[in-house]
């Protein structure tokens, strides 16, 4: 199999987009309603603002890799609301690229195991930090969640089944 056959195409590209939609859904739930001072909570190493800035950097990098021009940047965290917007804009830009007919210059598996899986881990960290900071989110049955592609930059549909 040559390198071109390993690129993200067809069903693999679709699965990457669904993974991004899943991440967007879970991350949106994790940041929604968080008070501004949550950004600076120092309960386990990096602050939520630093984690979210890193998550935005992951998708700026993923887009650069997909375009064939790898570039990494360590961004200084913005104010919480701006950092939330920046993350979802970066996620949406990467998703839009995957939705286009433009070539993806990296294997789908690498894009999943790198930036997407890393961001899913960090979303869990943010959820844990919310609980530690006294602002827990409600659990949910994500199997029945209303997760749709093309919603990376918008609010997700309401939860289908949250736990009490």
Whether 152 is covered by a domain: the verdict is: no
* Residue 32 DSSP label: T
Can you give the residue range of the structural domain that contains 16? 3-144
In 3D space, the residue among 55, 62, 80, 64 whose CA is nearest the CA of residue 16 turns out to be 62
Whether 105 is covered by a domain: the verdict is: yes
Nearest 10 degrees: Cα torsion 123, 30, 139, 114 = -20
Provide the number of structural domains found in the chain: 1
In whole angstroms, what is the distance from residue 12 CA to residue 112 CA?
10
Q: Residue 120, Cβ neighbours under 10 Å: how many?
A: 16
pTM over cut 0.75: yes
What does the pLDDT profile of the chain (164 residues) look like in tens digits? 344 444 566 899 999 999 999 999 999 999 999 999 999 999 778 999 999 999 999 999 999 999 999 999 999 999 999 999 999 999 999 999 999 999 999 999 999 999 999 999 999 999 999 999 999 999 889 898 888 887 665 665 566 666 56
């Amino acid at each position: 199999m040559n390198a071109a056959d390993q690129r993200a195409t067809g069903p693999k590209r679709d699965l990457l987009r669904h993974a991004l939609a899943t991440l967007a859904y879970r991350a949106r739930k994790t940041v929604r309603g968080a008070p501004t001072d949550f950004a600076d909570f120092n309960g386990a190493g990096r602050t939520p603002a630093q984690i979210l800035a890193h998550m935005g950097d992951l998708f700026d990098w993923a887009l650069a890799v997909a375009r064939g021009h790898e570039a990494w940047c360590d961004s200084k965290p913005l104010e919480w609301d701006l950092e939330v917007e920046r993350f979802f804009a970066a996620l949406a830009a990467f998703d839009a690229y995957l939705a286009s007919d433009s070539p993806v210059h990296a294997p789908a598996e690498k894009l999943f195991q790198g930036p997407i899986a890393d961001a899913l881990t960090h979303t869990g960290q943010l959820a844990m930090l919310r609980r530690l900071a006294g602002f827990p989110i409600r659990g949910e049955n994500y199997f029945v969640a209303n997760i749709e592609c093309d919603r990376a930059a918008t609010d997700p549909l309401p939860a289908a089944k949250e736990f009490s």
